[in-house]
């Protein structure tokens, strides 16, 4: 006869195995995870760029507007501003949620291309060089050690200075002691260890552009906000672009939202660390970003010299074999121009610029392809949450629509599709197991209580592994734990609850095991039924 303890051990083993199987199944790559620097469009397909573009039947402007309306609703976006430029001219302007082309949004990492333009303007003016070393220019790095001091402007622009992604994220979150200025952030980063030698490899990190912002302040003798206004926003004619949060507030920057548990999008506050402005907290509008895009297309005259725009689009680092990085732009081929099943690695495809921005309560994306006269700008005031690539997928679909090419079917991301169940149902089931174990213990059914508590312990540990190890490794998003409360507050709440499940289950299991080992005294006549 198989003992209850043996059956319990088998049940625990089966539970752990099921958790592993579910987690592996959920590890399907995201449909459009990250930027081209971090992924390749295996579902895009490609043929000859020329034949695909010329033989296609592009969508009409009305078709694009209807599509934007549908996607805004399906993606639970509280607002959406979209501008499509075709043949150098505005093809579609469409706004959802009571905004217009002048509504300012926090840009997230799309800020980097504006910081890159400031740096290139200083280089064109002779005040800065690509090979200038931080130790020679920025006081915070003069005594920071040989590796930090040797970092160059080129390496900052190309994310090859050596800081990890996590190093650039450590200032985000609700906590005291975050750097109060760009220079304070640079001083902190001067003491943060590098993951690799400067210039030895690419790793996207906000640290690079935050230090670049401090370098801009040092070289110009002004604030970063003033340098951005004088060197880029003014010459380009941008009227709703600023790095000054007070000015952004006066303009009525779009209120940030978050989609809780993958189902409910509501206004939700978020921190705005002052040290992160150059990399992620510049504010701009759809009209302004469309003007920047048209300037890169060569379709509009501005006071910003053409050589500055050209230099900003010139790669300074290799990301992988299909993408490079310029001054705040990924540079890759126009793989949307080809049908599914083709060779999207074709080196004859036109070169394009793109970058996405994702911060706690805002998402933006920009795409510019000068050779075909095409640009796409999209902004929304909602945080990324479990589906971090909503706006990026929208941009890819818009490019396909304008070119008239078939997008193909992207891989499914089961964690995103079932995020509501994972975030709500997962912890609820774990709590139910703990309550059942407690009820069995109260009824003195020690063996059953031990078995259920061990199952709850394994289940809770599995959920923690999924939230803190598996998903971050899959998405390459290693947020500091303290930053989770601002970036993904629902996941942080679930993680906190889930942490208590193994503790409670372990406590029940230990108590029951101790009770089983305790010697039993003689039963009373009443217990014996006498």
Residues 62-88: pLDDT tens digits?
999 999 999 999 988 999 999 999 999
Residues 459 and 325 in one domain: no
Residues 214 and 278 in one domain: yes
pLDDT tens digits for range 54-63: 335 889 999 9
Residues 98 and 192 in one domain: yes
Residues 439 and 325 in one domain: no
Question: Which letter does DSSP use for residue 13 in this model?
Answer: H
CA dihedral (286, 31, 114, 245) positive or negative: positive
User: Do residues 349 and 49 lie in contact, with contact meaning Cβ atoms separated by under 8 Å?
Assistant: yes
User: Three-state DSSP class for 405?
Assistant: coil
CA dihedral (248, 249, 250, 251) positive or negative: positive
State which residues form the domain around 156: 61-403
Tell me, what's the pLDDT at 37? Answer: 45
**What span, in angstroms and rounded, lies between the C-alpha atoms of 323 and 343?**
15
pLDDT tens digits for range 282-291: 999 999 999 9
Residues 399 and 421 in one domain: no
Residues 210 and 301 in one domain: yes
Give domain status of residue 191, yes or no: yes
**Highest averaged pLDDT of the listed ranges 5-9, 248-252, 442-446:** 248-252
CA dihedral (172, 177, 182, 183) positive or negative: negative
Residues 454 and 375 in one domain: no
Give domain status of residue 49, yes or no: no
Q: How many CA atoms lie within 13 A of 289 on its CB side?
A: 35
- Give the chain's domain count: 2
Residues 383 and 490 in one domain: no
> 424 pLDDT exceeds 90?
no
* Residue 371 pLDDT class (50, 70, 90 cuts): very high
Residues 214 and 165 in one domain: yes
Give domain status of residue 441, yes or no: yes
Residues 359 and 479 in one domain: no
User: Three-state DSSP class for 348?
Assistant: coil
Give domain status of residue 30, yes or no: no
Last residue of a domain, one of 403, 428, 449: 403
**What CATH number does residue 228 fall under?**
3.40.710.10
- C-beta atoms surrounding 497 within 10 Å: 16
Residues 393 and 452 in one domain: no
pLDDT tens digits for range 465-521: 877 777 667 656 666 667 778 888 888 888 888 777 777 777 776 776 676 555 555
Q: What's the pTM value of the predicted model, to 2 decimals?
A: 0.84
CA dihedral (117, 118, 123, 126) positive or negative: positive
Residues 77 and 175 in one domain: yes
């Amino acid at each position: 006869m198989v003992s209850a303890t043996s059956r319990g051990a088998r049940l625990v083993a089966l539970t752990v195995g099921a958790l592993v199987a579910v987690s592996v199944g959920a590890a399907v790559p995201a449909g459009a995870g990250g930027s081209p620097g971090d992924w390749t469009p295996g579902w895009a397909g490609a043929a000859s760029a020329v034949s695909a573009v010329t033989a296609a039947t592009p969508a009409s402007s009305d078709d694009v507007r209807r599509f934007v309306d549908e996607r805004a609703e399906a993606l639970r976006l509280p607002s959406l501003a979209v501008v499509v430029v075709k043949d150098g001219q505005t093809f579609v302007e469409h706004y959802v949620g009571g905004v217009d082309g002048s509504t300012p949004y926090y840009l997230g990492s799309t800020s980097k291309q504006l910081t890159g333009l400031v740096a290139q303007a200083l280089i064109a003016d002779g005040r800065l060089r690509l090979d200038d070393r931080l130790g020679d220019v920025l006081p915070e790095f003069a005594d920071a050690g040989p590796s930090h001091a040797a970092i160059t402007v080129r390496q900052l622009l190309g994310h090859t200075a050596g800081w990890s992604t996590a190093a650039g994220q450590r200032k985000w979150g609700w906590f005291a002691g975050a750097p109060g200025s760009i220079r304070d952030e640079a001083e902190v980063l001067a003491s943060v260890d590098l993951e690799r030698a400067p210039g030895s490899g690419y790793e996207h990190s906000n640290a690079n552009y935050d230090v670049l912002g401090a370098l801009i302040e040092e070289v110009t003798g002004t604030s970063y906000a003033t340098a951005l206004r004088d060197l880029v926003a003014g010459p380009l004619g941008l009227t709703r672009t600023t790095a000054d949060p007070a000015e952004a507030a006066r303009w009525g920057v779009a209120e940030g939202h978050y989609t809780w548990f993958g189902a409910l999008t509501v206004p939700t506050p978020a921190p705005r660390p002052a040290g992160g402005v150059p990399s992620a907290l510049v504010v701009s509008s759809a009209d302004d970003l469309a003007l920047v895009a048209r300037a890169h297309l060569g379709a509009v005259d501005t006071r910003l010299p053409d050589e500055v725009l050209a230099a900003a689009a010139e790669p300074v680092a290799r990301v992988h074999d299909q993408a490079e990085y310029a001054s705040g732009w990924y540079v890759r081929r126009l793989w949307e121009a080809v049908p599914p099943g083709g060779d999207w690695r074709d080196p004859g495809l036109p070169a394009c610029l793109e970058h996405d921005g994702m911060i706690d309560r805002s998402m933006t994306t920009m795409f510019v392809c000068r050779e075909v006269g095409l640009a796409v700008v999209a902004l929304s005031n909602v945080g990324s949450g479990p589906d971090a690539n909503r706006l990026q997928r929208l941009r890819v679909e818009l490019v396909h629509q304008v070119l008239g090419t078939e997008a193909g079917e992207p891989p499914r991301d089961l964690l995103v599709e079932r995020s509501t169940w994972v975030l709500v149902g997962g912890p609820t089931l774990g709590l139910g197991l703990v309550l059942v174990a407690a009820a069995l213990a109260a009824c003195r059914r020690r063996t059953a209580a031990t078995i259920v508590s061990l199952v709850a312990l394994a289940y809770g540990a599995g959920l923690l592994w999924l939230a803190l190890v598996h998903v971050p490794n899959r998405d390459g998003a290693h947020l500091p734990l303290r930053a989770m409360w601002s970036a993904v507050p629902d996941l942080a709440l679930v993680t906190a609850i889930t942490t208590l499940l193994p503790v409670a289950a372990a406590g029940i299991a230990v108590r029951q095991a101790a009770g089983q080992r305790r010697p039993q005294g003689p039963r009373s006549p009443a217990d014996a039924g006498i």
